[in-house]
Copies of this chain bind each other. A is one copy, B any other.
């Protein structure tokens, strides 16, 4: 599952599951991920065919990211993670591991 292994990839996919997002939308939802890292991981996800990027040639530029059909197949994996996270997020034990 190298496809998800990147530190932020699963989070990006999670946010894109809610629908198309712009670069800044994603950044606001992941304040701990630097602009540089976000760009790098988005690029990798794109190369792996998980997400697609649409660029509108207006000024200033506008881009939109969304899941490809292939990326959509990852939904069950991400939702399994989310379900697990919801169960254990509020607990004191293992808090460091859950993050």
Chain A residues proximal to chain B, CB less than 8 Å: 1-3, 5, 7, 10, 48-50, 70, 73-74, 76-77, 79-81, 83-85, 87-88, 93-94, 96-99
Contact = CB atoms under 8 A, between A and B. Distances in A.
A81 B1 contact: yes
Contact of A81 (B77, B79, B94, B99): B77
B97 A2 contact: yes
At the interface, is chain A mostly helix, strand, loop or mixed? helix
Give the interface centre of A48, A84, A88, A93 by most chain B CB atoms within 10 Å.
Answer: A84
Given A5-B7, A10-B1, A48 B81 contact: no
B99 A2 contact: yes
Contacts of A3: 94, 97-99
B7 A97 contact: no
A30 B83 CA distance: 28
Nearest to A48: B97
